[in-house]
């Protein structure tokens, strides 16, 4: 045995030695037993009452309606009929975009500003109950390295690295007078790259994976509050989008595309994009193509807020106000269409701004999910669907490949919340707010979330 071990170590290097050591240590993994909990498992519209769940190391080892044996020294949590559920998954955040506006960030953000903001955002997300966050542009792998090393506190993190955007597209953050291709603050930091042909796409998409992206983010439509781009924009040729998909697939991963218009969404899906972001002109024909392609949609429901036109960033900027009026009219069928032809939809906040403002937006986005689609659909969007989306990063790029995310089942990662009350009946117990930016400041962590566990470790326990 010894000689085989030495040979293997010599051939494969030191990483294999540590795997051998951890395999030998396996019996010593710490255990946590949750007793008498009602489980929402992330997929079914019911609670499994009075169950026990054993966590060993960072995985769920056993789930049972009967007793589960533990070793001496196991941590025992008396659940007293509280709800045990998967940690929330955010599918569309921007942890490295502090706001207040895109030009201000381009002109005045240093790497220190961005790192400090990202650190505080990561901690806020975890304390709001999010154990996984997919970043939709602007963050490279540094934040994840710091979180996973335990240097800072935060969720599991799936960054997209630089936004890939055409000149004048939705992630062209360069100054108004900046010539095409000129380096910007954000391009130097690999937060946004200007991509205008297939060669650019190959170069910057590959560079994103080099910088630690787990998937790619392409800006295929324009936006409402941004400077140069009509929301109706069809950015990028079929060849360019296919090039992004090709690079992503060569890493075993996928592309998420910011797509508003129906034609943009159809083009993206036909080019192989697996995750439609926003997707505001969603309809039943799109649903059919999505199901055929195994694609997902994530949508910021705050876009359907009745007060959208009163937001200062919209109301006070004539061009944005005009865009918002036409967008609201064009997007009005999203919710009825999603009810008529449901597809796999993930939770999506899309906040750019201060930690306090984003905490409010998260609580409101949670509320809108329940208000528009019901508590069960909201909870599925926030848990198991998010886990499926995270897993699309594939066997080579997924930083967390050892278990499922977003479910309470044997072998899944132990990313768990213990909650006062039943969120299937009352969504407010997960920390919702029916007000957006004009609501009161949010608590650092919702009181009804009594335990936050990520990767088998406690980050909050008020029992
Ligand atoms: Zn976004």
pLDDT digits (tens, 9 = 90+) for 112-149: 999 999 999 999 999 999 999 999 999 999 999 999 99
Residue 209 token pair = 């994976």
Ligand 1 center–CA 325 separation, angstroms: 20
pLDDT digits (tens, 9 = 90+) for 79-119: 999 999 999 999 999 999 998 888 888 988 999 999 999 99
What is the per-residue pLDDT for 17? Answer: 45
| Residues 6 or more apart in contact with residue 242 via CB below 8 angstroms | 271, 272
Ligand 1 center–CA 146 separation, angstroms: 23
pLDDT digits (tens, 9 = 90+) for 419-455: 999 999 999 999 999 999 889 999 999 999 999 999 9
Ligand 1 center–CA 91 separation, angstroms: 10
Instruction: Provide the b/e sequence for 309-344 (b: ≥16 CB within 10 Å).
Output: eebebbeebeebbebbeebbebbeebbebbeebebb
Query: What's the mean pLDDT in 365-394?
Result: 98
What is the per-residue pLDDT for 22? Answer: 52
Ligand 1 center–CA 350 separation, angstroms: 5
Ligand 1 center–CA 348 separation, angstroms: 9
Ligand 1 center–CA 94 separation, angstroms: 7
Report the SS3 class of residue 426: coil
**Residue 156: which H helix or E strand, with range?**
strand 156-158
Tell me: pLDDT of 373 over 80.
yes
Ligand 1 center–CA 135 separation, angstroms: 8
**Residue 334: which H helix or E strand, with range?**
helix 334-340
Tell me: pLDDT of 10 over 50.
no
What is the per-residue pLDDT for 443? Answer: 95
What is the rounded CA–CA span in Å between residue 310 and residue 326?
15
Pairing of strands 457-461, 31-39: unpaired
What is the per-residue pLDDT for 23? Answer: 52
Ligand 1 center–CA 61 separation, angstroms: 36
Tell me: pLDDT of 5 over 50.
no
Q: What angle do CA 40, 91, 261 make, to 5 degrees?
A: 125
* Length of the chain, in residues: 463
Ligand 1 center–CA 93 separation, angstroms: 6
What is the per-residue pLDDT for 310? Answer: 85
What is the rounded CA–CA span in Å between residue 410 and residue 54?
9
Residue 280: alpha-carbon gap to chain centroid: 18
Ligand 1 center–CA 437 separation, angstroms: 18
Tell me: pLDDT of 198 over 70.
yes
Ligand 1 center–CA 339 separation, angstroms: 23
Report the SS3 class of residue 217: strand
What is the per-residue pLDDT for 16? Answer: 46
Ligand 1 center–CA 434 separation, angstroms: 22
Provide Rg for the chain, Cα atoms. Answer: 22
Task: Decide if 76 contacts 418 (C-beta within 8 A).
Answer: no
Banded model confidence at residue 26, pLDDT cuts 50, 70, 90: low
Banded model confidence at residue 18, pLDDT cuts 50, 70, 90: very low
What is the per-residue pLDDT for 27? Answer: 65
DSSP string, 365-405: HHHHHHHHH-HHHHHHHHTHHHHHHHHTTHHHH-S-TTS-S
Ligand 1 center–CA 225 separation, angstroms: 12
Banded model confidence at residue 6, pLDDT cuts 50, 70, 90: very low
Ligand 1 center–CA 164 separation, angstroms: 12
Ligand 1 center–CA 215 separation, angstroms: 14
Ligand 1 center–CA 136 separation, angstroms: 6
pLDDT digits (tens, 9 = 90+) for 177-191: 899 989 999 999 999
Ligand 1 center–CA 50 separation, angstroms: 40
What is the per-residue pLDDT for 320? Answer: 86
Query: What's the mean pLDDT in 405-428?
Result: 98
Ligand 1 center–CA 277 separation, angstroms: 8
In angstroms, what CA-CA distances link 391 with 122, 134, 153?
A: 20, 11, 22
Instruction: Provide the b/e sequence for 144-155 (b: ≥16 CB within 10 Å).
Output: bebbbeeebbbb
pTM: 0.93
- DSSP state at residue 413: B
Ligand 1 center–CA 306 separation, angstroms: 20
């Amino acid at each position: 045995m010894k000689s085989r071990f030495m040979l293997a170590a010599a051939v494969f290097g030191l990483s294999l030695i540590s795997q051998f050591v951890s395999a030998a240590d396996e019996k010593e993994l710490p255990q946590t037993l949750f007793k008498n909990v009602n489980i929402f498992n992330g997929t079914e519209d019911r609670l499994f009452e009075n169950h026990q769940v054993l966590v060993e190391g960072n995985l769920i080892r056993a789930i049972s309606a009967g007793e589960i044996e533990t070793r001496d020294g196991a941590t025992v949590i008396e659940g007293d009929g509280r709800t045990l559920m998967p940690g929330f998954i955010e599918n569309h955040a921007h942890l490295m975009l502090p706001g207040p506006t895109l030009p201000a960030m381009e002109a005045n953000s240093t790497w220190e500003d961005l790192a400090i903001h990202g650190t505080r955002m990561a901690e806020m997300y975890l304390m709001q109950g999010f154990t996984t966050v997919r970043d939709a542009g602007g963050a490279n792998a540094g934040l994840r390295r710091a979180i996973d090393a335990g240097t800072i506190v935060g969720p599991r993190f799936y960054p997209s690295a630089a936004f890939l955007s055409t000149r004048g597209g939705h992630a062209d953050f360069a100054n108004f007078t900046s010539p095409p291709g000129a380096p910007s603050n954000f391009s130097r930091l690999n937060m946004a790259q200007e991509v205008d042909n297939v060669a650019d796409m190959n170069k910057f998409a590959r560079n994103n994976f080099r910088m630690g992206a787990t998937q790619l983010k392409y800006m295929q439509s324009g936006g409402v509050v941004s400077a140069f781009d009509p929301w109706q924009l069809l950015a990028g040729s079929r060849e360019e989008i296919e090039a992004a998909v090709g690079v992503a697939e060569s890493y075993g991963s996928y592309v998420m595309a910011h797509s508003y218009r129906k034609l943009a969404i159809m083009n993206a899906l036909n080019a192989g994009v697996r995750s439609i972001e926003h997707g505001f002109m969603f309809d039943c024909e799109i649903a059919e193509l999505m199901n055929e392609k195994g694609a997902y949609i994530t949508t910021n429901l705050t876009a359907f807020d009745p007060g959208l036109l009163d937001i200062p960033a919209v109301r006070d900027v004539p061009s944005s106000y005009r865009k918002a009026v036409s967008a609201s009219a064009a997007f009005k069928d999203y919710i009825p269409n999603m009810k008529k032809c449901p597809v796999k939809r993930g939770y999506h906040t899309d906040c750019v701004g201060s930690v306090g403002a984003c905490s409010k937006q998260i609580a409101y986005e949670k509320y809108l999910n329940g208000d528009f689609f019901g508590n069960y659909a909201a909870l599925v969007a926030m848990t198991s669907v998010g886990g499926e989306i995270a897993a699309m990063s594939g066997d080579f790029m997924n930083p967390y490949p050892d278990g499922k995310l977003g479910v309470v089942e044997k072998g899944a990662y132990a990313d768990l919340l213990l909650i006062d009350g039943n969120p299937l009946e009352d969504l407010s117990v997960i920390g919702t707010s029916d007000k957006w930016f004009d609501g009161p400041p949010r608590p650092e962590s919702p009181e009804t979330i009594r335990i936050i566990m990520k990767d088998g470790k406690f980050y909050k326990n008020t029992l």
